Structure 1
Amino acid sequence: MKLTRNMERWSPVIVLLAALVLWQVIVTGFGIAEYIFPSPWQIAQQFVEFKAPLFEAAWKTFWVTMLGFGISIVVGVMLGFLIGSSRLAYTALYPLMVGFNAVPKAAIVPILVVWFGIGLGPGILTAFLISFFPITVNIATGLATLEPELEDVLRVLGARRWDVLIKVGLPRSLPYFYASLKVAITLAFVGTVLAEMTAGDSGIGYLMQSASSQQRMPLAFAGLVLISAMAMAMYELFSYIEKHTTGWAHRGSQGH
Structure 2
Amino acid sequence: MTLAQRKRLLMKASPWLLLLFLGLFWELVCFAFQIPDYLFPAPTDIWRSWLEYRPQIIEHATQTLFTTVVGFALAVVFGLVLGMLVGSSPVIYKAVYPLMVGFNSIPKVAFVPVLVVWFGIGTVPAILTAFLISFFPVVVNMATGLATLEPELQDVMRSLGASRIDILKKVALPRSMPYFFASLKVAITLAFVGSVISETVASNVGIGYLMLSASSTMDMGLVFAGLVVIGVMGVVMYELFALVERRMTGWATRGSDPAF
TM-score for the superposition, normalised by structure 1: 0.98
What is the identity, as a one-letter code, of the residue corresponding to 2:226?
A: G
Query: Does 1:235 pair with 2:247?
Result: no
2:238 and 2:155 mapped to 1: Cα distance? 37
Match of 1:137 among 140, 145, 156: 140
Structure 2 alignment gaps of length 5 or more = none
Match of 2:49 in 1: 46
Query: Does 1:127 pair with 2:124?
Result: no
Match of 1:67 among 58, 67, 70: 70
* Cα deviation 1:4-23 (Å, max 9, x = unaligned): 11011100000000000000
Query: Does 1:35 pair with 2:5?
Result: no
What is the identity, as a one-letter code, of the residue corresponding to 2:124?
A: G
1:104 and 1:228 mapped to 2: Cα distance? 22
Q: Which residues of 2 match residues 165-244 of structure 1 at below 5 A?
A: 165-244=168-247
What is the identity, as a one-letter code, of the residue corresponding to 2:114?
A: I
2:172 and 2:203 mapped to 1: Cα distance? 41
Match of 1:77 in 2: 80
2:198 and 2:257 mapped to 1: Cα distance? 41
2:169 and 2:35 mapped to 1: Cα distance? 59
* Per-residue deviation, 1:252: 3.0
In the alignment of these two chains, the number of paired residues is 256
Which consecutive aligned stretches of 4+ in structure 1 deviate over 4 angstroms post-superposition?
none
Root-mean-square deviation (CA), in Å? 1.1
* Per-residue deviation, 1:97: 0.1
Q: Which residues of 2 match residues 89-128 of structure 1 at below 5 A?
A: 89-128=92-131
* Cα deviation 1:147-204 (Å, max 9, x = unaligned): 0011011001000111111111111111001100000000000000000000011000
Match of 2:29 in 1: 26
Structure 1 alignment gaps of length 5 or more = none
Match of 1:251 in 2: 254
Which one is further off, 54-63 or 243-252?
Answer: 243-252
Q: Secondary structure at the match of 1:253?
A: coil
Match of 2:151 among 148, 152, 155: 148
Q: Secondary structure at the match of 1:241?
A: helix
1:200 and 1:170 mapped to 2: Cα distance? 39
2:15 and 2:257 mapped to 1: Cα distance? 21
2:170 and 2:114 mapped to 1: Cα distance? 42
* Per-residue deviation, 1:254: 6.9
What is the identity, as a one-letter code, of the residue corresponding to 2:118?
A: W
